Amino acid sequence: MADWHWEHDPDDLLDALPPEAVDAVERLAREIAVRESMVYPEGASFTGATPGLRVQEEGRLMLTYLTDVRGERAVVVQVTWLGWNQLPEALDTASSVERRAPVFPGPHAVVMGGRPRPRSRLVSG
């Protein structure tokens, strides 16, 4: 595997995840780094186009990552974990307005606010 490794950006990306999710992220990210080392064996001397932003899913986990071929690393930039038993503490203490908004859990659970948009209607004829 040469010097290939994985890392996450930002540094606090995994902070809100439960331990089982962090373990799953670490395992899958290591697998991605090993795979990328085989796909791009030239590593730092690579001169082609980079693959761009990609997604890898496994069970309740979805990682969004970039392959930095010349840096011989996979950089995890987003983690979606669908195994929450309860909302992270940061959301439990949200204001009443934020609690009414739909919540989509993730490493930094996204709270969407504002007024709901009206549904579009299909008009026939």
| Residue 50 located in a structural domain | yes
Range of the domain at 30: 5-82
* Cα angle: 18, vertex 23, 27; to 5 degrees: 150
In tens, the pLDDT along 5-40 reads: 999 999 999 988 889 999 999 999 999 999 999 999
pLDDT of residue 3: 87
State how many domains the chain has: 1
| Residue 123 located in a structural domain | no
Compute the mean pLDDT over every residue in the chain, rounded to the nearest whole number.
76
| Residue 97 located in a structural domain | no
Mean per-residue pLDDT for 59-73? 94
Share of the chain above pLDDT 90, in %: 56
In tens, the pLDDT along 53-63 reads: 999 999 999 99
b vs e for 24-38, b when ≥16 Cβ sit within 10 Å of the residue's Cβ?
A: bbeebbeebbeebbe
Higher pLDDT, 16 or 102: 16
**CATH number of the domain encompassing residue 53:** 3.30.2310
| Residue 113 located in a structural domain | no
| Residue 117 located in a structural domain | no
| Residue 72 located in a structural domain | yes
Of 36-40, 91-95, 96-100, which has the strongest mean pLDDT? Answer: 36-40
